[in-house]
Chain A
Amino acid sequence: MKVYCVRLSGPTGESLTDSRWLTLGKEYVVISINVPPGGRQPMLQILADDRAPSWWPAADFLTVSTVIPSNWVAKIGEDGEVDLAPESWLKPGFWDAYSDRDKNAISEFDRQLGVMMASED
């Protein structure tokens, strides 16, 4: 799934005119989707300009490619939270380990990302 950036937001939701992570009009690969409970805004996890994964409001993007990666699963969590992502990425602690540069987590991230990129080809 690919999107392009139509708006730039800061970490607390403020509008920005430029960003060191994203570029207006540029296409990005969506690597997972999260719809939080309680009316919070849907979020996209994308590979930003530095190719590192991070979360951004879905409202900041429009769809380019509607292809759903073959390795995504749909999970309904507490209070109706919805996740679309590789199953291994949804395990508790996975992203803690990834951000702490755990080799196993990085390896699993790369493996699943490879599947997604193949889906886009």
Chain B
Amino acid sequence: MNDLRNRGVRDILIACCDGLAGFEDAITAAYRREHRWRDRPVVNGVTKIGTAFTLWEQKQCSGGARTGMPFCWTQTDEQQFNVGTVCTGGARTGMPHCYPASDFLTPDQGANVFLTIMLTLGSAGLSALLGPAAAAGGMAPEAVTAGGGADNVVNGTRLAQQLARESAQSAFTSSGELQPSVIAESRLITQGAKLGNTDLVKHLTSDGSNIADWGKYTTPTFQSPMGDFQVHFYMNSLTGEVDYGYDYKFVLNERG
């Protein structure tokens, strides 16, 4: 986290992880904020985060322990974060919680937002996350061409981030599935008969198909602000069916 900070990441919007020990402390230490954490599974976390992106802005919290905070949300719906219009509970005494806006950056500050998503990619996919962020990212073309000297360095960074977002988005449809052209350029990395996860095998063959016709595939590498990544997915090579319901994820490429 310190390395990220030294490289210019001003703050973290959302860190979504799978219970990685010490991660919360590491972020708090690096950014010296009292970040609040939701103790909840991250399955489909990206989907929820993507929804939250579109809903956070300009919502008012009308009550509760943190009255006056610019926004809050509730967690009454397991499928998404609902931005709260009423905040009746204490900040730590049950839902809904309020969060100080100063702890977060909104998408229109996107140039300085760093998103780390580990392991689980919800079915709505990365585009649900990157789409709103990029769309509201405030990185207009004139921002890239204006200025001189140090400004050009900053703008160059922004341009690189913009291009990386566009590269990442190009892999996905608006619903988070893989573009057909991306699937066509993918390759088989594990044969279905060699998959070790019995639950996965049951899932893939629940329609009566043969596991030997399935396989684990990887896409080509795409760039993103988080680093280069590939998407792993399961596909039936006989029918061309792609399964987005199980272990559909993106994997950051190794660095260095």
Binding site for B on A (CB under 8 A): 10-14, 20-21, 34, 36-38, 40, 43, 48, 52-56, 77, 81, 90, 92-97, 99-101
In the assembled complex, how far is the CB of residue B63 from the closest CB belonging to chain A, in whole angstroms? 45
> Number of residue pairs across A and B with beta carbons under 8 Å?
76
Contact A11 to B237, CB < 8 A, known contacts A55-B188, A101-B254: yes
Cβ-closest chain B residue relative to A92: B196
**Residues of chain B whose beta carbon lies under 8 Å from any beta carbon of chain A:** 183-191, 193-197, 210, 212-213, 215-218, 220, 232, 235, 237-238, 240, 251, 254
Q: How far is the CA of A92 from the CA of B200 in the complex (A)?
A: 13
Within the assembled complex, what's the spacing in Å between the Cα atoms of A28 and B139? Answer: 44
Min distance, Cβ B223 to any Cβ of chain A, angstroms: 15
Q: Which residue of B lies closest to A93 (CB)?
A: B196
Q: Is the CB of B212 within 8 A of A36?
A: yes
Shortest Cβ distance from residue B183 to the other chain A in the assembled complex, whole angstroms = 7
Known: A11-B184, A38-B212, A92-B196. A53 touches B191 (CB 8 A): no
CB <8 Å contact, A36 and B220: no
Find the B residue at minimum CB distance from A43: B191
A14 to B184, CA, bound (A): 9
- A12 with B193: CB separation less than 8 A: no
Counting chain B CB atoms within 10 Å of each CB, the highest count among A11, A37, A52, A77 belongs to A11
Contact A94 B196, beta carbon cutoff 8 Å: yes
Residue pair A99, B191 in contact (C-beta under 8 Å): no
B237 near A12: Cβ-Cβ < 8 Å: yes
Q: CB distance A96 to B190 under 8 Å? A: yes
The 9 listed contacts between A and B (C-beta, < 8 Å) are A36-B212, A43-B188, A48-B187, A95-B189, A99-B189, A99-B251, A100-B251, A101-B251, A101-B254
Pick the contact of A36: B187, B191, B251 (CB < 8 A). B191
Give the Cβ gap from B29 to chain A, nearest Cβ, in Å.
Answer: 26
For the complex, give the distance between the alpha carbons of A49 and B194 in Å: 23
B235 touches A20 (CB 8 A): no
Question: In the assembly, what is the distance between CA of A56 and CA of B191, in Å?
Answer: 10
- Provide the bound-state CA to CA distance between A108 and B53, in Å: 42
List, in ascending order, chain A residues with CB within 8 A of B240's CB.
Answer: 12
Given contacts A95-B195, A96-B197, 20 further A-B contacts (CB under 8 A): A11-B183, A11-B237, A12-B237, A12-B238, A12-B240, A34-B191, A36-B193, A38-B210, A40-B213, A43-B188, A52-B189, A53-B189, A54-B188, A94-B194, A95-B191, A96-B216, A97-B196, A99-B216, A99-B232, A101-B251
**A77 CA / B191 CA spacing, docked (Å):** 14
Contact B191 A55 (CB under 8 A): yes
- The residue that B196 contacts in the complex, of A54, A56, A96, with Cβ under 8 A, is A96
Q: By the criterion CB–CB under 8 Å, are B189 and A20 in contact? A: no
Q: Taking the nearest CB of chain B, how far is it from the CB of A19, in angstroms? A: 8
**A20 to chain B: which residues have CB within 8 Å?**
185, 220
Across the interface, which residues of B come within 8 angstroms of A94, CB to CB?
A: 194, 196
